[in-house]
Structure 1
Amino acid sequence: GGIRDQLRKWHQENGHQQTDINNEYDVDASGEQTNNFTRLGDVDNFRRPDEDIENERDDSSRLMTPGNLEDWDSHHRFLRRGDLVLLDFPRSEREPILAIFVRRVGRPAQSQFYTIHGKWIHGTERNIQHAVPDFVPPSLVEPIISYLPDSGITEELLDRAHMFDLSVPRNVSAPLVTRMLEFQRKSEEIYRQNATTLDGAHLSLAHPTDLKFGTLDLITTRLLGHSKGEDNDTWQGKIYAVRKALSRGGFAFGHDRRSHRITGFVQIRSKEQVANVEKVRNWLRAWQDDLATFAAAKSSNHQFSPNGQKVVNFIHKAKSLIEKSRELRDVTTFGRVGISKKRFNIEKEDALQYDFTTEFDDSDRELIKFFEAWSCSGLFLGLPRIEALPPLMLQATGMYEEHRLDPKAGFTF
């Protein structure tokens, strides 16, 4: 009479029965058995795969072209018509350009801007690092739209459309250009009045040894102050002037390009770290000057300078270690090295072995930290003059002839 006996009796009487289920749209294409213990709904409620795809397209189209952006983007996370943006070029030394966001065009969507130089340009919204919301009313932007392209451009021309001919009549675009010029002049005047403070921003903000964080608003208040009765244009001009000063600080300041426009967070690197990077740059510059001198000299009596000799010694040590490593492990072009070619019995005490035959001095350790910052941490992104230095040392070892001299190769270094 227990529950087990009742279940056994029911199974003997009904276990052989199996209800046929119409799974016309749920049959696995590979012919695998379906789960008989899953209770399925009515076949009329099933959706075909093509119906799911159509529904997804409908949903995504509604998300891509919302009727009223303000209703679901109350925090202004996406650019809107009339926002002022700063177009920067992290892979070059070009000065950033002020522009006004016009609209999104093409698929995938490209952002269309109108620059302070009176030319249109297409770019990617996620690359915008600074914006001033609601800089001009949308009604001031609408007159130029009929003169701008309605479709996207090829990826090769992104961020280069500023080279195109002027297409909007000057009398139509004049209000926008004038507004941007006024903002730029005000910001430049603020910079001139506070040049000493802004140029010495890192000295007054940085910690001697620790990394610090701050927002653009807080840093601006700390450097230039913020009064209660200050109008928004003056405040935004101060922020823009401070941002220009931080950009000119190079490695001293950094930010996360994925979220900086929204959060405004800035990394304030320590005085010690900045000094070490600058010290290594001077060593490498001296080394390059020595090589240029040797190449131009007719005799071979020249010697490396003290700073250049530090780099030479490090390259010799690195080459020796790389040659030993290549005997035991193959290197790949994907930023990795293979497994050891030498096998040890893991049951023995000497299964794990260390090689301390090469010693690094203080200057070697500084150069290693420099490589680590480039290849592992990506701290030199957007600083092409510093990014160009580590590949020179990789090339000097002569061990990376078949590799691209990029951070992947530096990771195996």
Structure 2
Amino acid sequence: MPATSQSTQLAHDGENLQASAVSVDNTLPFPKVPQPPKLPIRERLRRWEAENVSEVPNLSVSFDQDHAKHGEVTNLYTRPVEGDQIREVDDGQQLEDPPLPLFEGDDLVGFGSERSFLLRGDLVELRTSDGLRIELAIFVRELGIQSQFYTMSGRWVHKASRNARFFVPNFVSPEEVDPLIAYLPDADVPEAIQDRLQSFENALPRSIGAPLLQKMADFGHEADAVYRENLDALDNAYSIVALPQQVRHVSLPRLTKEILKLPRNTKSEDIAPATLYAVYRTIMNEGVGFSVQTAGNTRSWGRFEIVPRRIIDSIKMVTRIIRSWQVHTVTSARDGESEIRPFGQFMAEFESFLGTARRAIDVSRKNRAVTMSGQVGPAGTVVDSDGPVKFIEQHFDTPDLKYIRFVKCWVAWDTFSHSSPMNGIGSAILRATGRYDGQALNRSTGWQFLQEIGIIAPWETKASFELRLPGYGYYKHAMTEKQGGKEPEDALAGMRKDWKEQTVYCIDDTGAHEIDDGVSIEASETEGEHWVHIHVADPGSVFGIDSYPARRAKEAFQTVYMPDRVIPMLPDSIVQEKLSLAPNRPTLTFSAKMNEKGVMIDHKITAGTIRKVVYLTPATLAELLGNKVTELEEVLVVGDSETITSFNDGVMHRDMASVDSLSISDKANLKLLASLGEARRNYSLLRGGIDLNNARASVIVKIDKDIDVDCYNSPRNSTHVHSDPFISISIPPASDDGPSIYGPVTSLMTLGGEIASAWCSARNIPIVYRVTQAHPDKPDPGAFFRANVLPYVLRGESVPKDVQSAYVLAQGPVLPSSVPGPHVALGVEMYTKCTSPLRRYSDLLAHWQIQAALLEEAKIGESLVGSSREDYLPFPKAKVDGLIPKMEGREKALGAGRRGAERSWALQAVLRAWKFGQSRGWRDEWEFRVLGLMGGMVNGFVDGLGLMAMMDMPAGMEPDDIGEGDVFTARIKKVSPYEKSLLMEPVTRVSTAGSVEQRE
């Protein structure tokens, strides 16, 4: 449907909403699903919270006491802590009544102490990155982009972050904090005083501040008492919980139980917050052995990674050797060579390692230039086309491995903090090679060192190590495909529907690694109503929850997509040969009976087998619908794509349909599916949903097929290659008001999630619902929508960006939950992800639960609607609740890792074009659009590259002279793929007008 007709249709729908609402018995998404009696919302919340008292989460607010940039080593001795500074280191006509039922504040689900935001009265810990200064503080409120805290030193501070690693929910009541507000700023403070402790301008009456300070002091004293009572255990915390060769990821309550030897049946909620804090503080002060794996929120999702004991022992050994070697080197230069050499054998081994490393570096530099960017340059030698593109120059001996492992701990795994003395040991190793004179001996150069000695690929990104992907963890761990035994039986074989001649349309890009889903359409017995079927791959019926593929999926949680590789959640051979949608493959089908207005009248879930499949791309569907297909604009290319094949070239071959090859019935079916998908989208928009433009830069990478990247997983090989990847950066067009080519598909996949959640909710089946949290400090999103968003929707107009942003900010965050609730941004009453079970564990879990219910209903001969039984389910609610924290943390980490890898690859392309002239049409100056100020620099967006960047403060300008939306011409000053940083230097200001859209 063309864009103009969509807007006209939506406006027309708005004019007829009252009539359509009357004509439908129930305008909620699932009108005909029998439901158990519904308790009042507050009673439901009380019951839920009573059943789900959470662990006390570990939160993160840090102080950055010196002025090191993010990611740099902090120097505590030449630039000591500034006592007052707390800086953090590390999405017509206005009607009197709504036309359709929307979500009110009381309809949203409360998460109790597991919420992902702070509320007035919560206690948090603010900590410098070195751990030398710690402040307990009470959260007061959010102000714009800053959060306001009252600290135990009797001062206040504004921080840009709303997150914290440790917090005690409801430490004091909001009423106890309210009197403070009259003495505090009521808006964001200038950046110059952000993150700095501030005294009150007007003296704070003792009656207001003293009770709060006393409660914080009492809490600290209680934690101190716990420490004194458990001194031996806490001082040996690492040795108690660490394993010899296995990494552990453990929650704070579990660590507390293990370290303090609490009874195994002790519930997390029964552990006193001060006890948890005593353990947390000890772990954070440990320095080496523990690292916090956070998901960027204040839930108890964050886990502590416990490094294997052998790794820590190796780090300590290298530290002793290097320090002895340094002392011996200095004394020998002063007093002459001594016959007595402490650690003599080890120092000889270290010198042997240095010799091997120097030779490897020299070999690398014959072919690849040195840069100041923490990255080797591209291959400079023209290689014989018939010669090898990769060769192994030499091997490292066993004693060498501990030094390589140390550098990896330093620069790849972040085993110790940026303020740790261990950073000096890494710098000493670099200095000892004699190959990095004139370069900063920091982590970035350490990364270049690993590249030059041939331990990691010249184009490797840090994300693989940060995520501990197979082959990139402390110990090599590859997901080998284990098969054998008899062919797995289809658990649903006896109840599968044969879809026969029903054509299933699988709409996905040509490079899709697997096909999870497809759609089909079928006329119902009622004119104007159709059954829309979302057919989803059905791995859950092929293997059980204790099988190898299931255990592998649980360990991975998701398929990992990087620009240079795909690491599948399930064994690739099983996916491609048995599960990825194709003729004669099993499916679980989520079906909705819909009218032309997008209202779902009925729904069902069916196990089946599809026979007839048509593959096409979203662009082909858009062409069929007559929609303008807006291509991404390729803005930067380095390398030769003609001679290189990518990892995706080996995926299952699919014959992709074109518009011309589609039959008349196929075209009619697809148009009807798209029309119903668009109607459902409009229906959701009228119920509070919102379209967000998530278009962002696309990075395509191709690596020479003759290079086995796994050769770098060997710790002994010094590998060198004479080839570089092809890298392409493409960005969305500057303005794209037309419909998204993915729109109809996205709407139908969302519909599948609605069906699954409604079906499971009616049967009280715990799955991973995606729920908008109730946030008592934010406005009612339903009221905000009716007043500010709905008028644009009713007129068929695009919602302005600032209104969209304000509406999103009015909503609480979306979190996974075993209890259903509204998803406000989607405009649905409840939602789960169920259409990607081949690549997402939460979807697979839902399939197993649904499969069990289908089998149980067939066995007992009646519906389970309204039942509270769990005995037939593979995942009872307690088990789902236990999985959700790990799943949420891993999902967020993988998302951040993917974005980080994409940015690192894009910056590699920029470096190769800027410094080595590998891109035609490269220009020296770029437009830089200002987003704001950060750390004394200008934060903004380089439009022509689709990349965020920092810019030096223009000479002669003060911070107040620069505003959001200003446009400068700027030159590249520094690129660091390792640090994921792009630094620009200003040339001149072009304009001070225009809006800024962040598209990365």
TM-score by length of 2: 0.32
Q: State percent identity of aligned pairs.
A: 28
CA contact 1:119–1:166 (8 Å) conserved in 2? no
Partner of 2:239: 203
Partner of 2:116: 77
CA contact 2:131–2:284 (8 Å) conserved in 1? no
Partner residue of 2:164 out of 121, 124, 128: 128
User: Secondary structure of 1:104's partner?
Assistant: strand
| AA matched with 1:193 | E
- The structural deviation recorded for 1:312 is 4.0
| AA matched with 1:88 | R
Q: Deviations over 1:231-272 (max 9, x none)?
A: 979711110111122123222111124447421411122111
State the distance in 1 between where 2:435 and 2:106 align.
Answer: 54
Partner of 1:244: 281
Partner of 2:376: 337
Partner residue of 1:101 out of 139, 144, 147: 139
Partner of 1:393: 429
CA contact 1:82–1:137 (8 Å) conserved in 2? yes
State the distance in 2 between where 1:390 and 1:127 align.
Answer: 31
Partner of 1:411: 447
CA contact 1:211–1:270 (8 Å) conserved in 2? yes
Partner of 1:290: 328
Q: How many residues align?
A: 350
RMSD between aligned residues: 3.4
- Gaps of at least 5 residues in structure 1 are 1-36, 48-66
Compare 213-222 and 332-341 and name the one that shifted more. Answer: 332-341
Please state if 1:364 is matched with 2:400: yes
| AA matched with 1:138 | P
Please state if 1:317 is matched with 2:356: yes
Q: Deviations over 1:163-191 (max 9, x none)?
A: 89895343320011000111111111111
Which structure has the higher relative contact order (CA within 8 Å, separation 6+)?
Answer: 2
Partner of 1:179: 215
- The structural deviation recorded for 1:393 is 2.4
Partner of 2:366: 327
Partner of 1:168: 204
State the distance in 1 between where 2:447 and 2:187 align.
Answer: 41
Query: Cα distance 1:121–1:287, how it changes in 2: closer, same or farther (>3 A)?
Result: farther
| AA matched with 2:138 | I
User: Secondary structure of 1:354's partner?
Assistant: strand
| AA matched with 1:96 | I
Partner of 1:41: 5
Q: Deviations over 1:129-182 (max 9, x none)?
A: 111111000111111122222333444544332689895343320011000111
| AA matched with 2:240 | S
Query: Cα distance 1:317–1:42, how it changes in 2: closer, same or farther (>3 A)?
Result: closer
Partner of 2:386: 347
State the distance in 1 between where 2:106 and 2:116 align.
Answer: 10
CA contact 1:101–1:112 (8 Å) conserved in 2? yes
State the distance in 2 between where 1:39 and 1:177 align.
Answer: 59
Compare 219-228 and 94-103 and name the one that shifted more. Answer: 219-228
Q: Which has the larger radius of gyration?
A: 1
- The structural deviation recorded for 1:322 is 1.5
Partner of 2:272: 235
CA contact 1:119–1:165 (8 Å) conserved in 2? no
Query: Cα distance 1:39–1:393, how it changes in 2: closer, same or farther (>3 A)?
Result: closer
TM-score by length of 1: 0.74
CA contact 1:84–1:100 (8 Å) conserved in 2? yes
Query: Cα distance 1:156–1:39, how it changes in 2: closer, same or farther (>3 A)?
Result: closer
- The structural deviation recorded for 1:220 is 1.4
| AA matched with 1:238 | T
Please state if 1:255 is matched with 2:292: yes
Task: Give the 5 Å matches for 1:109-120.
Answer: 109-120=145-156
CA contact 2:291–2:305 (8 Å) conserved in 1? yes
- Gaps of at least 5 residues in structure 2 are 12-103, 450-1000
- The structural deviation recorded for 1:302 is 3.8
Q: Deviations over 1:97-132 (max 9, x none)?
A: 211111122x4x111111111111222335521111
Q: Which has the higher strand share?
A: 2
CA contact 2:117–2:162 (8 Å) conserved in 1? no
Query: Cα distance 1:39–1:129, how it changes in 2: closer, same or farther (>3 A)?
Result: closer
Partner residue of 2:412 out of 376, 380, 388: 376
Query: Cα distance 1:174–1:302, how it changes in 2: closer, same or farther (>3 A)?
Result: same
Please state if 1:279 is matched with 2:243: no
Query: Cα distance 1:342–1:199, how it changes in 2: closer, same or farther (>3 A)?
Result: same
| AA matched with 1:283 | I
Q: Deviations over 1:34-68 (max 9, x none)?
A: xxx84741776799xxxxxxxxxxxxxxxxxxx97
State the distance in 2 between where 1:290 and 1:162 align.
Answer: 48
User: Secondary structure of 1:331's partner?
Assistant: coil
Query: Cα distance 1:266–1:115, how it changes in 2: closer, same or farther (>3 A)?
Result: same
CA contact 1:80–1:103 (8 Å) conserved in 2? yes
Partner of 1:86: 125
State the distance in 2 between where 1:85 and 1:332 align.
Answer: 43
| AA matched with 2:354 | I
Partner of 2:307: 269
Partner of 2:724: none
Query: Cα distance 1:322–1:164, how it changes in 2: closer, same or farther (>3 A)?
Result: farther
